[in-house]
């Protein structure tokens, strides 16, 4: 087991190297010029050239890539072209809101979606099942920003129960922290809830047809025990897989959600950086996202062994 974990961690190195090469090359060939953005409309082409030279953007590809890679290997993600701040500091400033949004969304989504899916499978064919599936279709179909605006309109503007925008760190109190995150988490979680609920329902329906479930029922195990002990545990592997894959969905959705609710997270940081062509910031955040995703896959693989003793590495 430990040998497997070490092997997998070592395997992340070539993956990250490919990601680094890909991201750097893509940005290099992409059109756009941060020097021209900095110089603004007042500047002459000569001014733009001088700014480009001062930023080192006129140097050859290989030199720039080599220098960046060397710095990354030493843990230095570089300095933002625009703000002059270290990229690692900018990421550190923005990672907490994104992490908080994702954790709250995950907790909210899992605690709603799994019971929904289990109940829908249990009440298969009834109005409860149809209602859950109807919600799932709705959740998939409505874009996150539409859900976000609707929630903000009803619960912030009309009812005045929750704030419209912003983020408060948890160190400033749990209530201010959570009241800022409820609407974004519900908006972001709507797709995720739909996804997990559907998979849970489908997997549970399959599991509930198995012989061991019939045996459990015959032995007099109650509905709750059948569903949550015998059923759900055996349905857990595909559900966990979807939860893991869905985190990538959350990262994408967080970009939109952070804009709608003005949460100062990593999603907005990377979008702003792309629009301005702030290359070191884009490269840093994409590397971070890739690393998180690789680790997440490892974590899910390890979770399989906990959920299904038959799986061994």
Sign of CA dihedral 204, 210, 215, 217: positive
- Of the CA atoms within 13 Å of residue 188, those in its CB half-sphere come to 34
Report DSSP letters for 68-81, one per residue: HHHHHHTT---B-T
Minimal distance, residue 157 CB to another protein, in Å = 6
- Of the CA atoms within 13 Å of residue 242, those in its CB half-sphere come to 22
Q: Which range, of 34-42, 108-116, 136-144, 213-221, touches another protein by CB under 8 A?
A: 34-42
Instruction: Build a one-symbol-per-residue string for 142-161: x at contacts with another protein by CB under 8 A, - elsewhere.
Output: -------x--xx--xx-xxx
The C-alpha atoms of residue 145 and residue 2 are separated, in whole angstroms, by 43
Q: What share of the chain is helix, strand, coil (3-state, %, to 5)?
A: 80, 0, 20
Q: Which range, of 33-41, 101-109, 120-128, 189-197, touches another protein by CB under 8 A?
A: 33-41
Say if residues 245 and 198 touch (Cβ distance below 8 Å): no
How is residue 170 annotated by DSSP? G
Residue 54 has φ and ψ, to the nearest 5°, of -65, -25
Among 262, 288, 300, 303, binds another protein (CB under 8 A): 262
Among 129, 179, 206, 308, binds another protein (CB under 8 A): 179
In terms of CB distance, is 13 or 159 closer to another protein?
Answer: 159
Among 25, 83, 111, 223, binds another protein (CB under 8 A): 83
The C-alpha atoms of residue 302 and residue 313 are separated, in whole angstroms, by 9
Identify residues 97-126 at the interface with another protein (CB under 8 A).
none
Q: Which range, of 29-37, 132-140, 202-210, 232-240, touches another protein by CB under 8 A?
A: 29-37
Q: Which range, of 9-17, 75-83, 98-106, 191-199, touches another protein by CB under 8 A?
A: 75-83
Residue 29 interacts with another protein (CB under 8 A)? no
Q: Where are the alpha helices (DSSP H) in 123-231?
A: 127-141, 144-151, 174-207, 211-218, 223-225
In terms of CB distance, is 63 or 170 closer to another protein?
Answer: 170
In terms of CB distance, is 262 or 294 closer to another protein?
Answer: 262
How is residue 86 annotated by DSSP? B
In terms of CB distance, is 69 or 99 closer to another protein?
Answer: 99
Residue 220 interacts with another protein (CB under 8 A)? no
CA dihedral 86, 91, 96, 98 (to 10 degrees): 160
Q: Which range, of 13-21, 124-132, 169-177, 217-225, touches another protein by CB under 8 A?
A: 169-177
Minimal distance, residue 253 CB to another protein, in Å = 15
In terms of CB distance, is 70 or 153 closer to another protein?
Answer: 153
Plot region of 75 (φ>0 → left; ψ -120 to 50 → alpha; else → beta): left
Residues forming contacts to another protein in the complex (CB under 8 A) are: 31-34, 36-48, 50-51, 53-54, 80, 82-85, 90, 93-94, 149, 152-153, 156-157, 159-166, 170-176, 179, 259-262, 264, 268-269, 272, 275-278
């Amino acid at each position: 087991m430990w040998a497997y974990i070490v092997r997998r961690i070592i395997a992340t190195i070539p993956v990250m190297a490919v990601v680094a090469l890909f991201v750097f090359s893509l940005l290099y060939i992409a059109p756009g010029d941060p020097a021209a953005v900095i110089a603004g409309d007042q500047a002459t082409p000569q001014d733009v050239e001088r700014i480009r030279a001062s930023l080192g953007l006129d140097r050859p590809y290989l030199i720039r890539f080599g220098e960046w890679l060397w710095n990354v290997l030493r843990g230095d993600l570089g300095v933002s072209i625009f703000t002059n701040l270290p990229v690692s500091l900018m990421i550190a400033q923005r990672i907490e809101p994104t992490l908080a949004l994702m954790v709250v969304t995950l907790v909210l989504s899992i605690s709603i979606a799994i019971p929904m899916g289990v109940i829908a499978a249990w009440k298969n064919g009834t109005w409860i099942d149809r209602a859950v599936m109807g919600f799932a279709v709705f959740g998939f179909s409505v874009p996150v920003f539409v859900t976000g605006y609707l929630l903000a309109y009803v619960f912030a503007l009309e009812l005045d129960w929750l704030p419209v925008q912003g983020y408060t760190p948890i160190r400033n109190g749990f209530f201010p922290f959570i009241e800022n995150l409820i609407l974004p988490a519900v908006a972001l979680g709507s797709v995720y809830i739909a996804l997990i609920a559907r998979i849970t329902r489908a997997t549970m329906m399959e599991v509930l047809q198995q012989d061991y479930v019939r045996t459990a029922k015959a032995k007099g195990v109650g509905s709750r025990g059948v569903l949550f002990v015998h059923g759900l545990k055996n349905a857990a592997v595909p559900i966990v897989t979807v939860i893991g894959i869905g985190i990538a969905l959350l990262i994408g959705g967080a970009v939109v959600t952070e804009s709608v609710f003005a949460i100062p997270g990593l999603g907005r940081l990377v979008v702003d950086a792309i629009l301005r062509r702030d290359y070191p910031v884009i490269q840093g955040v994409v590397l971070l996202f890739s690393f998180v995703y690789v680790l997440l896959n490892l974590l899910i693989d390890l979770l399989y062994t906990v959920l299904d003793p038959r799986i061994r590495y």
